[in-house]
């Protein structure tokens, strides 16, 4: 595996909030073009891991490498160079949030071109052209000039996906992209993500959607209590999991859908 094949390499990540140790030495490597699905019970640290990969949260220890650029979390905290490096990594690792987090004062298109114009410094006409193409790609051409308040949850999340794509990131990180959606709106978002997978987009996806994960994942990572317990191909993971924790987790998931309060009890 040459370094060119690696989109993200995270090594020895630790993260605590006060006394609570949420990540306890996590290593994760994501190859270019790979779709990694992260599963695990509530509180396992899945969101925290994603946020650390984007450096929205700074790990207490460990290192993160994106396209040959490494941030070492033990280094000095507030230098100018470090801030620039962190921004650089954030540009390359786009986030799609559970709550969408679209900018409410901007239209769908403005949301999509905000990063290209004000972070990537692309010329406005070009950004608009790309933005329109991306909205078309998620099936929202006709919503171009609507504000988020006028969009359904599924449409909002698809705008958020277009906004992520507009950064031309190395990898897109999804944190439960369908959890805030009514069941009947989930399919359109999952379909949009599957389309990205078909086009070879590198993605890390936290999700509870088992059927979706089975279909889209190249690898399933199971997290529990701040550790990665298992990394498997989806066929093995779902059909023949070695670990009893995973077996009981899957049983609960298929019985009752995502029920965080039940999962913790297992």
Partner 1 sequence: MDLLAQSVPILLKGMAITIFLGVTSFVLGFWLGGLIALARISRFALLKALAIVYVSVFRGTPLLIQIMLVYFGLPQLGIQLSPVPSAILTFTLYSAAYLSENFRGGILAVEKGQWEAAGSMGMTYSRTLRRVVFPQALRIATPAIGNRFIALMKDTSLASVVTVVELTRVAESVGSSTFRYVEAFVVAGAVYWLINSVLSVGQELLERRMGRAYA
Ligand X SMILES: Nc1ncnc2c1ncn2[C@@H]1O[C@H](COP(=O)(O)OP(=O)(O)OP(=O)(O)O)[C@@H](O)[C@H]1O
Binding-site ranges for ligand X (CB under 6 A): 17, 20, 22, 40, 42-48, 260
Stretch that binds partner 1, among 111-119, 185-193, 212-220, 224-232 (CB under 8 A): 111-119
Distance separating alpha carbons of residues 6 and 199, to the nearest angstrom: 17
Q: Which of partner 1, ligand X, Mg ion, none does residue 247 bind to, with CB < 5 to 8 Å depending on kind?
A: none
Sole binder of partner 1 in the list 9, 46, 67, 90 (CB under 8 A): 90
For Mg ion, which is the closer residue by CB, 48 or 65?
A: 48
Question: HEC states along the chain?
Answer: CCHHHEEEEEEEEEEEECCEEEEEEEEEEEECCCEEEEECCCCCCHHHHHHHHCCCCCCCEEEEEECCEEEECCCCCCCHHHHHHHHHHHHHEEEECCCCCCCCCCCHHHHHHHHHHHCCCCCHHHHHHHHHHHHHHCCCHHHCCCCHHHCCHHHHHHHHHHHHHCCCCCEEEEECCCCCCCHHHHHHHHHHHHHHHHCCCCEEEECCCHHHHHHHCCEEEEEECCEEEEEECHHHHHHCCCCHHHHHHHHHHHHHCCCHHHHHHC
Q: Does 174 bind partner 1 (CB under 8 A)?
A: no
Cα angle 164-167-169, degrees, rounded to a multiple of 5: 85
Sole binder of partner 1 in the list 28, 34, 52, 97 (CB under 8 A): 97
For ligand X, which is the closer residue by CB, 127 or 190?
A: 190
Stretch that binds partner 1, among 6-14, 41-49, 64-72, 101-109 (CB under 8 A): 101-109
For partner 1, which is the closer residue by CB, 126 or 247?
A: 126
For partner 1, which is the closer residue by CB, 58 or 60?
A: 58
Q: Which of partner 1, ligand X, Mg ion, none does residue 126 bind to, with CB < 5 to 8 Å depending on kind?
A: none
Distance separating alpha carbons of residues 163 and 110, to the nearest angstrom: 9
Q: Which of ligand X, partner 1, Mg ion, none does residue 178 bind to, with CB < 5 to 8 Å depending on kind?
A: none
Q: Does 110 bind Mg ion (CB under 5 A)?
A: no
Instruction: Restricting to residues 204-263, name those near partner 1 by CB under 8 A.
Output: none
Find the shortest distance in angstroms from Cβ 53 to ligand X. Answer: 12
Q: Does 118 bind partner 1 (CB under 8 A)?
A: yes
Structure token pair of residue 100? 């969408």
Binding site for Mg ion (CB under 5 A): 47
Binding site for partner 1 (CB under 8 A): 54, 56, 87-91, 93-95, 97, 99, 101-105, 114-115, 118-119, 147-150, 163, 167
């Amino acid at each position: 595996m040459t370094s060119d094949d690696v989109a993200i390499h995270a090594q020895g990540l630790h993260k605590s909030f006060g006394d609570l140790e949420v990540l306890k030495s996590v290593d994760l490597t994501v190859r270019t073009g790979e779709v990694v699905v992260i599963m695990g019970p509530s509180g396992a640290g899945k969101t925290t891991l994603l946020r650390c990969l984007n450096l929205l949260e700074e790990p207490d220890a460990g290192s993160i490498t994106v396209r040959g650029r490494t941030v070492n979390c033990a280094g000095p905290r507030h230098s100018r160079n470090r801030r620039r490096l962190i921004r650089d990594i954030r540009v390359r690792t786009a986030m799609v949030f559970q709550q969408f987090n679209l900018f409410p004062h901007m239209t769908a298109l403005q949301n999509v071109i905000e990063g290209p114009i004000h972070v990537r410094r692309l010329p406005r006409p070009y950004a608009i052209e790309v933005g329109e193409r991306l909205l078309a790609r998620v099936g929202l051409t006709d919503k171009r000039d609507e504000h988020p308040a006028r969009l359904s949850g599924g449409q909002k999340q698809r705008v958020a996906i277009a906004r992520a794509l507009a950064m031309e990131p190395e990898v897109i990180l999804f944190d439960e992209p369908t959890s805030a959606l009514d069941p009947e709106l989930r399919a359109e978002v999952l379909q949009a993500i599957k389309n990205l997978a078909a086009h070879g987009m590198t993605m890390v996806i936290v999700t509870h959607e088992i059927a979706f994960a089975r279909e889209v994942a190249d690898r399933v990572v199971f997290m529990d209590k701040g550790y990665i317990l298992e990394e498997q191909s989806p066929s093995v993971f779902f059909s023949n999991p070695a670990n009893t924790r995973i077996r009981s987790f899957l049983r609960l998931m298929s019985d009752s859908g995502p029920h965080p309060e039940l999962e913790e009890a297992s």
